[in-house]
Structure 1
Amino acid sequence: MRKGFILAVIFTFFLLTGTSYASDVDSLMDLLLKKGIITQKEHKELKAEIREEVKKEGKKVTGEGSYATKRSDRISIGGAVAGEYRWVKHSNMTTKDSDSTSDLYLRTVELSLEAELADWITTAITVNSEWIGDDVTPGDEKLTVDEAAITLRKEGVPLYLIAGKRTQPFGVFESHLVTDPMTQDAYETKRTGVTLGYQRPFMDLDASVTVYKGEEMMTHLFESGLFDSDSISRVSDPAGYDVGSYILNVSITPIAEHLRLSAAYLSEPGNGKRNNTLSLSATYNCLFIDGLSIDAAYITALQREEYRDATVLADNYKERVLSLGAAYRVTEPVEVALRYEHFDDDGLAKETGAWSVENRYSIGGTYTFYENEDLCVSSYLALEYRKTDYRLSEAVKASMGDDNSELYMRLGMEF
C-alpha cells in the first residue's frame, strides 16, 4: 500500500514536470532512499515500475493519435525548384536576321504550405521567386506571395467559399511542355478575389461566381507578347477602382476520369465598354489508348474597350486564341508532348502597322529520372523546341523577321 502511494506521488510529479525531467526521477528516488523513507528493495522495485510507466506514457504523448501527430497530419509543406537553359535563334525580332542569344537562369523557386484547420476550413499559401538571372524577364530574387487563400468547404454541403489571392477560375491551362500555352500567357487572372461555388456529385458538377477588383486579365493580355502592345494603348477606366470584375464558371465530367469540360465568362471594366471574354476547354484522357491525353482550349473576346493608337481612336479588336495539345506517356518515366496554337488579332497588326503572333508549334518531352511516391518527391529533365510564325503589316515587313525558333531545357525538382 505504502509503495503504491509513493509510486502515485512520484508519477504525479513526473507528469507535472514533463517528460524532459525524466532523469530527475532517479535523483528523487535516491533522495527517498537516503532519508530512509523507502528501503533498498522498494527503491529497486519502484524505479523499475516507474520506468515502465514512463514508457507507456511516452507512447501516449508521441504515438499515433496524439495531438502532435494529428497536427502534423493537418499541415503539409511542398515546393519546387527549376533551372532552365534557353536558346533563341533571333535575339531581337524587330530586327531582321539578328544574332542568336542564350540564357541560363533559375526559372522558379517555390515553397507552399497547406493547413487543414478543421474538416471544413483549409488554407493554402505559396511564395515564390521567378526568372532569377534571366536577361529577358529579369527577376529580383525576392520571395513574393504568389497565392494565399482560405477555403470553406464541408463534405456533404454543396456550397463552398474561397477567399484570397489565387489564379481565378477562368481558363484551363494544361501544359506538358516547358513553356506555358498562349491561353495562359494572355488570360491567366491571378488576383485577390472571393469565389462562391456549388458542387454536386452528378457529373462532378462545379459552378461558381467570382468577384475581384481591377482589370487584371486585360493587363495580362497586353503584357503577353502576342502582339505589339506599343501600337495601341489602353485608357484606364474609373470603374476599375471598384470591385466590379467578375467570373462565371462551370465544369462537368461527362465521362468519369476521362473527359472534363469547362466554360467560363469573364467581365472587366474598360474604356467606354466592358471587356467581356469567353473561355471553352476540354481535357480528355483517352479511353482506348492508355497514357494518351488530349487538351483543347479556345478563348475569345466577346466585347472589347475602345483602344487608342498614337493619334486617333483605334478599333476595339476582338482577339481569339486556340490551343491544341497532346501528350503520351511512353513508359512510366518518359512522356512526349506536342502543341499547336493560333492567335487571331482581328486585324490589329494590319490596321496599326505593327505585328502579332500568328501560329506557334511546340514539341518536347519529359524524363522523370527520380520519383519517391511515399515522400512525394520527384526530379525530372524536360526539353522543348518551339517555333513561332509572326503576322506582319506592310510597314514592318522589310525590317522584321517573320519567324523565330527557341530551345528550352529544364532541370527541376518537386517535393
Structure 2
Amino acid sequence: MPLAKKISIGLLGGLLCLPGMAQAAELDPAVQALVNEVKELRMRLNQMESRLEDAKKKAEAATLQADKARMEARKSTSTSLKASSMLSKAQVKKAEGVLTEAGKRLTIAGAVELEGYYEKMDPKNGEESKTSGLDLATAEVFFTANINDYTTGVIHMLWEEGDDGVGLDEGFIVLGDTEDMPFYLMGGRIYPAIGMFESYFISDPLTLEVFETQATAAEVGWNGEWLSIGAGLYNSDVAEIDDAPDDNINTFYARVQVETPEEMLNGAVVKAGVAYTNNIAGSDFLREQVPGDGLDDLVGGWSVMAGVEFGMFAFTGEYVAALDDFKAGELGFAGDEKASPSAYNLELAFMPLDKWTFAARYEGTSDLYEEHPEHQYGLAASWEFLPDTAWSVEYLRGEFENDDTRDLVTTQLAVAF
C-alpha cells in the first residue's frame, strides 16, 4: 500500500476519535488546534497523493509514447535494412550470374618461367668450356572453353626462348570425359601419350627430350576413377619410303594407365601405365634425325611407367625404348651404325613442408651417342614462397658415351595464373 494512503488511513482513524475527545474537553483550545493541524495535514496529503497520481499517469503516457517511438524507429530501420539487403542480394546475384556464365564458357590459365643457367662442358679431348645466361624459358596461356556439358575446346599458346613469336602449341576438341560420361573423343593438335614424362625437376627428363611427340591426331578413350585407356592415330612426317609421297595416316598409339584412389590404400596412391606406338620415330627429336623422313620399315616403340605417393614421399620411374633397330644411316647421329634408342628416368621426391619439395634424379639413355648423356644424376629443390610463385634450383651431372662430362646448374622463377 502506498505510504500516503497508510498515513491518510492512520490520520483518519485518529480523526474519528478526535470529536469525542473534543466534546469531552469542551473545545479545549489545545485540542482544537491539534484537530485543525490534522485537517490541514490530511488536505496536504490528499493533494500530494493527487499530484503523485497525475505524475504516474504522465510517466506512463510518456513511456507509452517512447515505446511507440522506438517501435516506429525499429520498423523504419528494419524496412531500410531489408530493402538494402534485397538490393545487395540482387546485385550479388546479378554479378554471380555474369561471372558464373563466363566461368562456364571460358577459363584462362598460364605460366611464365624465367631461368638462369651455368653450364660447364669438360670433353675428354679438348678444352673445357663454360657458358651462362638468362632465358625466358616459357610464356604460355591456356584457353579452355566449356561449350556445353559434354564439349570442351582448348587452345594453348606458347613462346619459348629462341622462338620467332608466339605460336599455337595445342588446339583440340574433347567430347565426353565427364563424370557421367567417361568415354571421350579428342581431336586436334595434341601430344600423343607415348609416355607420361612426369618430373619434379626444372629440366625435362631425358625420356621427354628424346621421345615427346606432337601431332594433329584423333584419340578415343575412357577415363574412369582408377583406369584410363586411350588409342589414337595420326599422319607422321616419318613414313616408309615405299609409301612416298606420304598422304595417308601411318601412325597409331595406345595406352593403359591405372591409378588407385587415396582411400583404397590408406592414403597411398599407386599408379602405373604402359603405352605402344608403331612409329617411335614420330617423336620431335627422332623425326629430325631421319634423313628425308623416310625409313625402310617403321620402328615401333613402347613405354612403361610406375609411381607411388605416400605422405611426404613420392617416387616415379619411366622407361621408353624402340622395339627394333633403326638401320644404318636411318638416324643421323648414329652414322653408319644401327641404333635402338632408349631412355629411362628415376626420381625420388621428399616434401617435408607444405611449400617445399626436394628431389633426386637418376636417368640415362642408350644408343643416342653424344646427343644426350648416357648417364645423368642430380638434385633439385623448389620453394613456393608466395601463392602461385615458386623459386627452384637444380644441379645435374651428365656423362656422355664418349666420356665427355657436363655440369649444369639451373635456377628458375616461375609464376602460374
Tell me whether the two structures share a fold, i.e. TM-score over 0.5: yes
Does residue 267 of the first structure (1) align with residue 278 of the second (2)? yes
Q: Which residue of 2 aligns with 1:41?
A: none
Structure-2 separation of matches of 1:57 and 1:89: 63
Structure 2 residue 324 is matched with structure 1 residue 303: yes
CA deviation string 1:9-55 (max 9, x = no partner) = xxxxxxxxxxxxxxxxxxxxxxxxxxxxxxxxxxxxxxx9xx99x95
- 1:149 alignment counterpart: 172
Counterpart in 1 of 2:133?
103
Q: Which amino acid aligns with 2:94?
A: T
Distance across 2 between alignment mates of 1:314 and 1:272: 15
Look up the match of 1:5: none
* Alpha-carbon distance in 2 for matches of 1:182, 1:196: 28
Confirm whether residue 162 of structure 1 aligns to residue 186 of structure 2.
Answer: yes
TM-score (norm: length of structure 2): 0.68
Bigger radius of gyration: 2
Structure 1: runs of 5 or more not aligned: 1-47, 132-137, 219-233, 372-377, 393-400
> Are 2:385 and 1:361 aligned?
no
Answering whether residue 196 of structure 2 is matched by residue 175 of structure 1, we say no
Matched, 1:332 2:354: yes
Q: Is the 8 A contact 1:235 1:308 kept in 2?
A: no
Determine the C-alpha separation between the residues in 1 that align with 2:412 and 2:235.
35
1:355–1:391 contact (8 Å) kept in structure 2: no
Matches for 1:325-404 after TM superposition, within 5 Å? 325-345=347-367, 349=369, 357-371=373-387, 378-392=388-402, 402-404=404-406
Secondary structure at the aligned position of 1:186 is classed as helix
**Cα–Cα, structure 1 residues 389 and 56, in superposed 2: closer, same or farther, change >3 Å?**
closer
Question: In 2, distance between residues paired with 1:367 and 1:56?
Answer: 41
Query: How far is 1:315 from its partner?
Result: 4.7
Residue 38 (structure 2) aligns with: none
Q: Which residue of 2 aligns with 1:397?
A: none
Is the aligned partner of 1:209 residue 2:209?
no
Structure 2 counterparts to residues 104-143 of structure 1, below 5 A: 104-131=134-161, 138-140=162-164, 142-143=165-166
SS of residue paired to 1:306: coil
Q: How many Å separate the matches in 1 of 2:92 and 2:383?
A: 45
1:245-287 Cα shifts (integer Å, max 9, x gaps): 111111112464611111000112851111200100012102x
State the AA in 2 paired with 1:170. Answer: I
- Cα pair 2:242 2:296 within 8 Å, conserved: no
TM-score, with length taken from structure 1: 0.69
Moved runs in structure 1, 4+ residues, more than 3 A? 54-61, 92-95, 234-237, 254-257, 312-316
Instruction: Give the Å deviation of 1:94.
Output: 8.7
CA contact (8 A) 1:209 1:247 kept: yes
**C-alpha spacing 1:94/1:369, structure 2 compared with 1 (3 Å):** same
Q: CA separation of 1:127/1:308 partners in 2, compared to 1, >3 Å: closer, same or farther?
A: same
Q: Return the letter of the residue paired with 2:253.
A: I
Q: Which amino acid aligns with 1:243?
A: I
Task: Supply the distance in 1 between the matched residues of 2:241 and 2:163 (Cα, whole angstroms).
Answer: 28
How far did 1:327 drift? 0.8
Contact persistence 2:326–2:340 (CA under 8 A): no
Q: Which has the higher strand share?
A: 1
Q: Which runs of 5+ in 2 are unaligned?
A: 1-79, 263-267, 282-293
Deviation at 1:158, TM superposition (A): 3.9
Higher helix content, 1 or 2: 2
Measured after TM superposition, the shift of residue 318 of structure 1 is: 1.2
SS of residue matched to 2:101? helix
The 8 Å contact of residues 279 and 300 in structure 1, kept in 2 or not, is answered as: yes
**Cα 1:240/1:340, change in 2 over 3 Å:** farther
1:167-226 CA deviation, whole Å, 9 max, x = no partner?
21110111111100000000111211110102344xx1111111111147x9xxxxxxxx
CA RMSD of aligned residues (A): 3.1
Looking at structure 1, the residues matched to 207 and 187 of structure 2 have their Cα atoms a distance apart, in angstroms, of 24
**Conservation of the 8 A alpha-carbon contact between 2:124 and 2:404:** no
Contact kept? 1:360, 1:387, Cα under 8 Å: yes
How many aligned positions are there? 315
Aligned partner (choices 239, 250, 253) of residue 247 of structure 1: 253
